[in-house]
Amino acid sequence: MRVIFSGGGTGGHIYPALALLKRLKQRQLLDAALYIGTERGLESRIVRQKDIPFEAIKLQGFKRSLSLENFKTIWLFLQSTHRAKKILRRFKPDVVIGTGGYVSSAVLFAAARLHIPTIINEQNSVAGITNRFLGHFVDRVSIAFEDVAAQFPQQKVVLTGNPRAQEVAGIQPNQRLQDFQLQVAQPTLLIFGGSRGAAPINQAFLKALPELEQRPYQTLFVSGQVHYAKIKAALNKHQLAANVAVVPYIEDMPTILPDIAVILGRAGATSLAEITALGIPSILVPSPYVTNDHQTKNAMSLVNHHAAEMIAEKQLTATRLMQVADSLMTDKSKRQAMGQHAAQLGVPDAADRLIKVMQTLSNQT
């Protein structure tokens, strides 16, 4: 198949596309690929680093308040749609996949107008504005959470999961905890606020540190590169106990997850795809600053199935962190039950499911 991918702005829109592309290559189903994004988005760096053909269009998102900038957004959308049509005619894709972010709006809309098979993948439990718009034009809507199905035309919806899940599903424990001078056999709590970190989570960790250093389990804390200098300053002259490690970032984070007993972190779609694919118990602290509070709804999809605990950010204190962490870290049977519930929500063949949809649409043309 010849496939065009489009999605950007955040890693949550980029990594599912890359996971799908990787699986197509593994199955020798990919004849040619092209990724369309913007120069300003993370995709311009991440995709090019992987030597994937990349073309850029100029586009921006709508302002949520009344603004003259929205007139510019409409003009850029029309201009980008015109450019996208030229790219599509030249590349001649069998199918076009959108994984979210405003850049995919022009690409998928142009493809639909040219009667090229189109699919969008919605990774969250609340649809983003771009995917809600595209849902009226594309051929299929691939979803990761059943809760979001009602936000799209029902005849187009297919539950596939997030392709990122399949990429991590087969990872086995590999003793990477040794890289951080931690014990391989000791239950480990991972506190991680995302690639950039999360200040409220970091502050709760610092206040809980004296308690964490006294626990029979160990803690691996990832501050995020942006916050690491402040964390180091706050820990100035403090000698960490042997059961706590503090790092700014972990390269290839998924490879360490099978060695983790419990994860405390945000509730982004990619994180939850990884957590459920590997069946890891989690304590979720949704970001309240995302569109439509979708991380809270993502988290509740797990909480309602007894697959996670949730702490609202405004309720995140050192005391609350320790209460929830202790309840899981000191109770192996509770962790096992929660992990089993999480695994039941995972879709370990998500990429293959989406590829099947692609093949079906491609064969119809």
The β-bridge relationship of strands 2-6 and 32-37 is parallel
What is the SS3 assignment for 39? coil
- Judge whether 23 and 352 are in contact, CB under 8 Å: yes
Residue type, 286: P
CA dist 248 and 359 (Å) reads: 42
Positions at the binding site for UDP-N-acetyl-alpha-D-glucosamine: 10-12, 124, 195, 250, 295
Q: Which residue has the tokens 């969250």?
A: 124
What are φ and ψ of residue 264, in 5° steps?
Answer: -115, 120
Positions at the binding site: 10-12, 124, 195, 250, 295
Concatenate the DSSP letters of all residues of 110-160 into one string.
Answer: HHHHTT--EEEEE-SSS--HHHHHHTTTSSEEEES-GGGGGGS-GGGEEE-
Strands, sheet with 54-56, edge to edge from the N-terminal-most edge strand: 54-56, 32-37, 2-6, 95-98, 118-122, 140-143, 157-159
Helices (H) and strands (E) in the chain, counts: 13, 13
Which is it for the CA torsion 137, 138, 144, 145, positive or negative?
positive
What is the SS3 assignment for 93? coil
The β-bridge relationship of strands 309-310 and 244-247 is unpaired
Strands, sheet with 188-192, edge to edge from the N-terminal-most edge strand: 244-247, 218-222, 188-192, 262-265, 282-284, 309-310
